Chains A and B, each alone.
Chain A
């Protein structure tokens, strides 16, 4: 993808196997955006099935092979594959690589005034391992056995006995390795390569967020790797780590040794996957802090509280995993424990949101496109977070857990929250990356279309969930009580197709602006952090003409007695 974009100046060392963190960041950005589009397209097919179950898919239905959709009608197995792959692609190949791989790689070294990451070669391998894993994951659709169909959570024993899962596990091994290499790099870079004067209390919140994210990735992913190895052995070597005694599959007694425990997988998986939610969330929270301070022309309210909350979240995120398992027959005493930790982790999240909201107080806000996305993030993430509370209490969770309510909650956090903030980040840092700015009119079109349609897709999910519509249903109309809310499915589907349409202005604007956008100066947003003190785009391999020295905190906006309303970190006085 990257090669195609830069074809006219392409030579392998500069654009393909580059060790420059900026090129690697861009590679991550292009690749993850493509994966986001692919993952989104998969769910659009599902949306057709949910709105008009059993009817042939228009246009695309004829292109699909008969094994997946005979006569254009989606088969249940194909539906399951689409669901599993949508989740996997969006999380592991889309959002995390965009939030961490792309933004972290590009801007973490710039914001701390470093020439590059601590281990540039490791950084390059991290991208390529991710790329291979992503291609492998995607190619599983055409490999024998098809794509994984046991959900992105890959619950056993279903995942052990259903086809396509081996490819999923192998691809995940690549992605886990890639995250690990990246995490080591981020942590060491932040610890070791800060510019003179850049103390911990002067670090931009974006750097804090990336650093904490690195720590979460470092400690959480190896546990999933362990779980995945055990699952792989259950599949290919007929072991029984997860396979219980006397398991009956399709009416026949399983011939395995047995004795394993299916819930062990859920524990290992969620031990990764709950911290993973904060991997999805912290980088956008960092981006929001940067744009918010810049757009309000004020320091972030409670800088120390926000940074402290990031760290607190990271620690607590390892102690809440079993709240995903309240309906698995978890002991009541354990449920109480995890209920308590879950309620506790909402405190730092709400503290961060409150600090951000208070930052808006008495501000003369500049309604730029990145600022619009940031302002939308705050209430949208608020809805996502607050709707999570009933899921943390067992009495309500038992009713809501297997319904669309959970899907709605999760998507409010990760799509209208995380993804919206990441879009804002792209508009905000585009001038730095390419030396040109994106068109602001089309940016606003993209913003309004996206935010309205996203709400039309995800809000009805709460209504459906409360009405008792189960998630993972291939055909919602088979259950009578679902029929009352079936019209919302049609609305959501049209909104989702409209959402695809509203990404066109973004895609065109993005590529058009790389080559034809208005030239931008070094510091177009009049920002204070170090990445704006180097040329746009920064110099290859060294970034800064001269290593900057840091004299003050990251958000010195509107300092009384100064003529300009911003005071860059590297300016002496």
Chain B
């Protein structure tokens, strides 16, 4: 994102920030398309069978939800640190966010493995098809976030950010909270309901 004209935009909002919001709006529609398809078939198709809750591994998924929410907190703390001029704090909290993101993916991979062995596969029924499609799409977004945050971390270690120049940390934060939010929607509709 190009921030050379941050100060003289018509709205006063930097291009990058506005661009990120606009991008996230389209992401809402993307996930919205998938989630409404899921809701429609789950409520409308007589052949939609929901696996028993024990097979879904709710405790592990709850832990994973907790991990992801915590990573959102560390992301906020990273932004707070750099706004106060602490590059050390920025590096610390970005690393924590990255660590938690990898934890999330690790737990997710274990869950996939477990479910597949139990017989919930991509073609075992509509529930499995939607479960893998939507969570994998979400995981792809997590991976995208990992790439973005790793880049920030590398730049932070090079000393590129300080209390004035840290717009990208904020944009990455916006994105990361969105990814978090999507999971907060996916978790109940797949595990709890």
Q: Which residues of A contact B (CB under 8 A)?
A: 118-122, 180, 183-185, 187-188, 191-194, 198, 218-227, 229-230, 233, 237-241, 245, 256-261, 264, 268, 271
Contact = CB atoms under 8 A, between A and B. Distances in A.
Contacts of A241: 37, 41, 126, 129-130
* Top 8 closest pairs, chain A to chain B, by CB: A259-B47, A226-B33, A222-B30, A223-B33, A192-B9, A222-B29, A239-B129, A118-B15
A194 B10 contact: yes
Interface residues of B, number: 38
A128 to B, nearest CB: 18
Given A119-B2, A192-B5, A259-B126, 19 more contacts: A118-B15, A119-B1, A183-B22, A184-B19, A192-B9, A193-B15, A222-B27, A223-B30, A226-B33, A227-B37, A230-B37, A233-B129, A237-B123, A239-B122, A239-B123, A245-B47, A258-B47, A259-B48, A260-B45
B57 to A, nearest CB: 22
Contacts of B129: 233, 239-241
B19 A118 contact: yes
Nearest to B122: A237
B126 A257 contact: yes
B14 to A, nearest CB: 8
B32 interface: yes
A112 to B, nearest CB: 9
Nearest to A234: B129
Contacts of A227: 33, 37
Nearest to A195: B10
B151 interface: no
Given A194-B10, A222-B26, A259-B47, A188 B18 contact: yes
B21 to A, nearest CB: 9
B13 interface: yes
Contacts of B33: 222-227, 268, 271
Contact of B44 (A222, A240, A245, A261): A261
* Interface of A, helix, strand, loop or mixed by DSSP: helix
Nearest to B6: A192
Given A119-B15, A230-B133, A268 B47 contact: no
B32 to A, nearest CB: 7
A188 B41 contact: no
B123 A257 contact: yes
Interface in B1-52: 1-2, 5, 9-11, 13, 15, 18-19, 22-23, 25-27, 29-34, 37, 40-41, 44-48
B89 interface: no
Contact of A238 (B47, B123, B125): B123
Contacts of A233: 122, 129, 133
A187 B9 CA distance: 13
B144 to A, nearest CB: 14
Contacts of A259: 41, 45-48, 125-126
A188 B21 CA distance: 10
B126 A121 contact: no
B10 A193 contact: yes
A119 B19 contact: yes
Nearest to B133: A233
B126 A240 contact: yes
B32 A223 contact: yes
A122 B2 CA distance: 9
Contacts of A239: 122-123, 129, 133
Contacts of B133: 229-230, 233, 239
Interface string B146-161: 0000000000000000
A104 to B, nearest CB: 15
Nearest to A185: B19
Contact of A260 (B15, B26, B34, B41): B41
Which of A187, A221, A271 is packed against the most chain B CB atoms within 10 Å?
A187
B174 to A, nearest CB: 14
A271 B34 CA distance: 13
Contacts of A264: 37, 40-41
A180 B27 CA distance: 10
B25 A218 contact: yes
Given A184-B22, A225-B33, A191 B41 contact: no
Contacts of B1: 119
Nearest to A190: B10
A221 B28 CA distance: 12
